[in-house]
Amino acid sequence: MGLVPLQEAEAVVLAACSPLPPQRVALAGALGLVAAESVVSAEAVPGFDNSAMDGFAVRAADTVGAPVALRVVTTVAAGGTGSGVRVGPGEAVRIMTGAPVPEGADAVVMVEQTTSLRDGTEVEIGVEVAPGTALRHAGDDLSAGDLVVDLGDELTPGRLGVLASVGVDELSAFPPARVGVLSTGDELVSGSTPLRTGQIRDSNRPTLLALAARAGAIPVDLGTVADDAGSITEAFLTATERCDAVVTSGGVSMGDFDLVKVVLDRLGQMRWMQVAIKPAKPLAFGTIGATPVFGLPGNPVSSMVSFELFARPALRKMMGFPAAAWRRPLLAAVADGPLQRRPDGKTHFMRVVATVDEQGLNRVRAVAGQGSHQLSAMARANALAVLDDGDGVEAGAGVRIMLLWPS
């Protein structure tokens, strides 16, 4: 079987995954989701002219020739209506930040530039101010009719704040995908039980559940299933019913006729690919009904890299992200040491530690232990260096990296 180029394998996966049906969500539960509608403000923000400072609302013309003394007629606090309050010639109104600007006033003098006189009944204004000083006008931030969130925008903390600022407390958004993670194999042991010869601990399930959570999805632990056609069939049918996508690991290598493969071929439309990448060459992908199923390689590093390259972009597409945000961005970095490889027709994803130097440049160094079974080396790395087919790069050369965490 020929090797499938990475872009082609990715295209097969993405073509089978579509955005989930949008739901109404409260702002409180919307962080990180993607808006499924555009939201237009019905209000101006701020809604009224108000003071940018604690100080005195004045007529700017009265400050000419400062210092000048003005009569303090009243106080307007933030939250006060200011209704009926007027600043006449020779007058000032004590005003707090955010309070409505009284009629007649066209500027605010900050309290630091004033001196209280006669028990506060008068104020000495220490500076001349121009009209408009320290005023915030209605609509300075937003006008009624402005677009505040567009379809496809990620609901970041700032955007949630903007929605709140215009009185929107719920909106239509793409829900987080429920991602079922399943391990198969009689050899797998979970927890602290002592191992018999031939047994291994199931590290992929917790890793993949965590990767799903980091991708913004809802991880669903589907446990471990024994190598038995009946149990595997049952597990996949339940999984595809309960979840929006299913991720398994193991049993997808070349020439591996294990039961996962037999069952998946019977239940769904699967593609068994050998992708031109290292690690994570084998990939089974398909659908059972309309539910995408990812058969990732069993080797722990491979399953993580495969999740990053195929499952994460697919899940982000399902969760409504625009195409430009499906993949992790490739960043430019400088290799601190050689990143060597041999020509083999594949793109290599080398595990590296990336740090940012004083100039703000990304610098990378390969971690020791580049085997696809060496999970602890992967765990020490925070990025993958993308090495095209060839001999790799010398120390000091440029290289592209994919930052994995913090994410």
Tell me whether residue 75 or residue 253 sits nearer to ligand AMP (CB atom): 253
Of 82, 180, 251, 292, the residue at the interface with ligand AMP (CB under 6 A) is: 251
Contact flag: residue 336 with ligand AMP (CB under 6 A): no
- Strands, E, within 68-142: which ranges? 68-76, 91-95, 107-110, 114-117, 122-125, 135-136
Name residue, tokens 């299933």: 225
* Residue 215 interacts with which of Mg ion, ligand AMP, none, CB < 5 to 8 Å by class: none
Of 63, 299, 347, 370, the residue at the interface with ligand AMP (CB under 6 A) is: 299
Q: How deeply is 97 buried, as exposed, middle or buried, from its count of CB atoms within 10 A (0-12, 13-18, 19+)?
A: middle
Give CA–CA dist 234/252, Å, rounded: 19
* Residue 154 interacts with which of Mg ion, ligand AMP, none, CB < 5 to 8 Å by class: none
Of 176, 298, 313, 320, the residue at the interface with ligand AMP (CB under 6 A) is: 298
Q: Which stretch binds Mg ion (CB under 5 A): 49-57, 178-186, 313-321, 339-347?
A: 178-186
Q: Which residues in the 166-205 window bind ligand AMP by CB under 6 A?
A: 183, 185, 188, 200, 202-205
Least separation in angstroms between CB 371 and ligand AMP: 11
Of 253, 274, 340, 355, the residue at the interface with ligand AMP (CB under 6 A) is: 253
CA 355 to chain centre: 21
303 SS3 class: helix
**Count of H helices and E strands in the chain?**
8, 29
Residues contacting ligand AMP: total by CB under 6 A? 18
Structural tokens at position 395 = 């120390």
Tell me whether residue 251 or residue 286 sits nearer to ligand AMP (CB atom): 251
Name residue, tokens 């961005």: 329
312-316 long-range contacts, CB within 8 A, separation 24+: 312/211, 312/215, 313/10, 313/13, 313/14, 314/13, 314/14, 314/17, 314/245, 315/17, 315/177, 315/179, 315/212, 315/215, 315/216, 315/217, 315/245, 316/215, 316/216
Site map (CB under 6 A) of ligand AMP, residues 203-242, x = contact: xxx-------------------------------------
Of 100, 250, 295, 300, the residue at the interface with Mg ion (CB under 5 A) is: 250
Give CA–CA dist 229/235, Å, rounded: 10
Tell me whether residue 193 or residue 359 sits nearer to ligand AMP (CB atom): 193
In the bound state, the residue with its beta carbon closest to Mg ion is 250
Tell me whether residue 181 or residue 319 sits nearer to ligand AMP (CB atom): 181
> Is the CB of residue 68 less than 8 Å from the CB of residue 125?
yes
Contact flag: residue 282 with Mg ion (CB under 5 A): no
Q: How deeply is 255 buried, as exposed, middle or buried, from its count of CB atoms within 10 A (0-12, 13-18, 19+)?
A: exposed
* Residue 219 interacts with which of ligand AMP, Mg ion, none, CB < 5 to 8 Å by class: none
Least separation in angstroms between CB 184 and ligand AMP: 8
Residues contacting Mg ion: total by CB under 5 A? 3
* Peptide bond preceding 279 in cis form (omega within 30 of 0): yes
Least separation in angstroms between CB 223 and ligand AMP: 11
Least separation in angstroms between CB 253 and ligand AMP: 4
Give CA–CA dist 109/132, Å, rounded: 10
DSSP state, residue 139? T
Give CA–CA dist 258/56, Å, rounded: 80
Contact flag: residue 176 with Mg ion (CB under 5 A): no
114-128: buried (b, 16+ CB within 10 Å) or exposed (e) per residue?
Answer: beeeeeeeebebeeb
Contact flag: residue 100 with Mg ion (CB under 5 A): no
Contact flag: residue 102 with Mg ion (CB under 5 A): no
Contact flag: residue 279 with ligand AMP (CB under 6 A): no
- Summarize as ranges the residues that interact with ligand AMP (CB under 6 A): 183, 185, 188, 200, 202-205, 249-253, 256, 297-300
